[in-house]
Amino acid sequence: MGDDGVKNEATEIMGLFQVLPRLVVFDLDYTLWPFYCECRSKREMPSLYPHAKGILYALKDKGANLAIASRSPTPDIANTFLDKLGIKSIFVAQEIFSSWTHKTEHFQRINRRTGVPYNEMLFFDDEDRNIEAVSKMGVTSILVRNGVNLGALRQGLAKFSQNLDSSERNKQKSHKLSRKSSSSERDQS
């Protein structure tokens, strides 16, 4: 399947969901491309996972913002590759720096830069520890095994809707509870 075929299918998948994330964040190494860019030379021509480009453009066309959160120790190589692939300008935020914080700091910066709350973000990464830390912040986070693909996209959007539903339900619940407690306060007075 070519980029256009993937893009069409990704658009169809997005059509299945009523709410889409406002911001979709991607790791680079082994999520968008199948290598560690620190092990490559800037002179090489990189390639993405087969579904990556179609998914990025389908999300963008549907109005989602895109961002990168990478702990690569070689941001210069990563940036050169994004440039060579012609996708650098589609990301509204690019946080590429090595850190010990499992991407917590990356997401704090992305949040400050974009103003998008954590519960309106969707994140794809190939490392458990990143997924664990970032989902604790309230971001819907999906572990990818062979790079980002249509299956991971569908799974991500489904989990995003589920998380949103349950946070809406919790909001309603706490709203009800606060109404209940304020009426019982009234009863007591």
Interface residue list for Mg ion (CB under 5 A): 27, 29-30, 126
CB of 14 or CB of 130, closer to Mg ion: 130
DSSP string, 48-105: --TTHHHHHHHHHHTT-EEEEEE--S-HHHHHHHHHHTT-GGGEEEEEE---SSTTHH
CB of 7 or CB of 33, closer to Mg ion: 33
Dihedrals φ, ψ of 46, to 5°?
Answer: -80, 165
Dihedrals φ, ψ of 87, to 5°?
Answer: -120, 0
CB of 9 or CB of 94, closer to Mg ion: 94
- Smallest gap from Cβ 4 to Mg ion, in A, equals 27
156: left (phi over 0), alpha (psi -120 to 50) or beta: alpha
Residue type (1 letter), 122? L
- Smallest gap from Cβ 176 to Mg ion, in A, equals 42
Tokens of 163: 């998380």
Q: Which residue is nearest to Mg ion (CB)?
A: 29
- Smallest gap from Cβ 70 to Mg ion, in A, equals 7
- Smallest gap from Cβ 25 to Mg ion, in A, equals 12
The residues assigned a catalytic role are 27, 29
CB of 14 or CB of 25, closer to Mg ion: 25
Taking CA atoms, 176 is separated from 162, 163, 166, 172, 188, in Å, by: 21, 20, 15, 6, 18
